[in-house]
């Protein structure tokens, strides 16, 4: 376990992560905190430390955010990525284990979360900063495939959100489209000034929207937010995000489809409020790397597509610097980004099934 010195360092970093509020990509508070988290993880995370040594990186010499090496996301499949913690009985007792989705026989990623309170606080803050208090919502979740396993970080997060709504009308739906439709109809006919969040995996929303049920009544509810989390999961043909949103807006009669960017290996989220452009949250930043040179980062205003690297300060107890297999593009020089596909040699899963 952590030494007293390391434990004090972790607690200090934890408190700073909970209170950080600056959002611009190159904001000094975020960069200073990210470098401090890097120094902590470079010392106390054996997997990340070994990776840095393999690269020949002297961690003490890294004083700028853009010089921090990003760990390939595939390490979560083969290793227990933990900072300063061990898999003893007490650790296992208090730790959540999230696992990615995958095909039969495929090795999936595992993300150990010993501090669920940190995850709960950050995910709630990110959502409420974008959409307002959860107490003002009913949440209906259409998450087939995620509900069919017991270790989904998305299901965990949505359940915590539902708990905070204190709404008896919130709930999960698997394939029971008729019940979902009826619940939405009742909420539309008996408005109580609360917003309605319908959050669903992409293929689930498409299956429901194209089921032939009359959903025209949804256009009458200005408080409805429809959010897709990505993911065909092999159930449907891959589509561009724009194509998915065009189908859903047409079938559901809503003005826009919102999106969530997250994954098993990350504890912070980014939201798009309807245009496919994600705005990083206070604890998350996205950098784009050259497709052929993973150590070359693009400038913030560069418009060419690149691989998405994520700094997620919420990953205090795992690794905060992740090289994903997603492809993205900046939309502004303030860190806003689009997700436009995946590398050809990566496994297709989760939120990343939307391809070029």
pLDDT 10s digits, 227-260: 999 765 555 566 778 888 999 999 999 999 999 9
At 121, phi and psi to the nearest 5? -65, -45
Can you name the CATH fold of 117-278? Answer: Rossmann fold (3.40.50)
In 3-state terms, what secondary structure has residue 139? Answer: strand
pLDDT at 150 (0 to 100): 77
> What six digits make up the tokens of 11?
């607690």
**286 pLDDT higher than 70:** yes
Range 48-68 average pLDDT = 96
Write down the mean pLDDT value for the chain.
88
> CB-hemisphere CA count at 13 Å for 225?
23
Give the pLDDT band (50/70/90) at residue 353: very low
d(CA 22, CA 354): 30
Mean pLDDT value of segment 113-135: 96
pLDDT at 348 over 60: no
Predicted local confidence at residue 310, as pLDDT: 98
pLDDT at 111 over 70: yes
- d(C-alpha 272, C-alpha 93), whole Å: 36
Q: Which pTM does this prediction carry? A: 0.91
pLDDT band per the 50, 70, 90 thresholds, residue 22 = low
Q: What is the pLDDT of residue 91?
A: 61
d(Cα 292, Cα 151) in Å, to the nearest integer? Answer: 34
Please tell me the distance from the alpha carbon of residue 113 to that of residue 108, in angstroms, as a whole number. 16
Is 77 a residue whose pLDDT tops 90? yes
Highest mean pLDDT, choosing among 144-148, 176-180, 332-336: 176-180
Q: In this structure, what are the phi and psi dihedrals at residue 122, rounded to the nearest 5 degrees? A: -70, -45
Residue ranges per structural domain of the chain: 117-278
CA proximity to 137, closest of 193, 201, 221, 179: 193
Kindly tell me if the per-residue pLDDT of 103 is higher than 60.
no
- Is residue 25 over pLDDT 60? no
The answer, yes or no, to whether residue 352 has pLDDT greater than 50, is no
pLDDT of residue 356: 31
Statement: residue 184 has pLDDT above 50: yes
By percentage, how much of the chain surpasses pLDDT 90? Answer: 67
pLDDT 10s digits, 255-278? 999 999 999 999 999 999 988 899
Q: Is the pLDDT of residue 149 over 80?
A: no
Residue 214 to residue 127: CA distance in whole angstroms: 30
- For range 79-92, the mean pLDDT: 73
Band of the pLDDT at 163, cuts 50, 70, 90? very high
Nearest residue to 101 via CA among 48, 155, 160: 155
């Amino acid at each position: 376990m952590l030494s007293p010195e390391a434990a004090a360092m972790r607690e200090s970093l934890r408190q700073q992560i909970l209170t950080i509020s600056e959002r611009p990509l190159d904001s000094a508070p975020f960069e200073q905190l990210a470098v401090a988290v890097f120094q902590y993880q470079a010392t106390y995370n054996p997997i990340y430390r070994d990776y840095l040594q393999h690269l020949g990186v002297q961690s003490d010499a890294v004083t700028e955010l853009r010089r921090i090496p990003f760990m390939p996301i595939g390490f979560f499949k083969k290793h227990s990525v933990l900072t300063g913690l061990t898999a003893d009985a007490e650790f296992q007792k208090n730790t959540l284990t999230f696992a990615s989705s995958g095909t039969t026989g495929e090795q999936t990623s595992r993300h150990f979360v010993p501090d669920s309170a940190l995850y709960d606080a950050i995910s709630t803050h990110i959502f409420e900063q974008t959409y307002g208090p959860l107490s003002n919502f009913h949440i209906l979740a259409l998450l087939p495939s995620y509900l069919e396993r017991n270790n989904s970080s998305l299901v965990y997060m949505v359940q915590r959100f539902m708990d905070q709504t204190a709404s008896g009308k919130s709930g999960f739906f698997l394939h029971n489209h008729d019940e979902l439709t009826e619940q939405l109809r009742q909420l539309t006919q008996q408005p109580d000034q609360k917003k309605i969040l319908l959050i669903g995996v992409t293929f689930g929303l498409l299956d429901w929207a194209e089921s032939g049920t009359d959903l025209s009544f949804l256009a009458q509810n200005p408080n409805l937010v429809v959010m897709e989390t990505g993911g065909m999961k092999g159930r449907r043909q891959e589509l561009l995000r724009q194509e998915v949103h065009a189908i859903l807006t047409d079938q559901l009669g809503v003005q826009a489809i919102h999106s969530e960017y997250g994954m098993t290996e990350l504890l912070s989220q980014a939201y798009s409020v309807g245009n496919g452009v994600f705005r990083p949250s206070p604890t998350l930043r996205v950098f784009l790397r050259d497709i052929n040179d993973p150590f070359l980062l693009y400038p913030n205003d560069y418009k060419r597509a690149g691989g998405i690297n994520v700094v997620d300060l919420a990953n205090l107890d795992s690794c905060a610097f992740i090289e994903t297999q997603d492809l993205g593009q900046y939309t502004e020089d303030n860190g806003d980004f689009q997700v436009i596909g995946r590398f050809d040699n990566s496994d297709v899963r989760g939120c990343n099934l939307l391809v070029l």
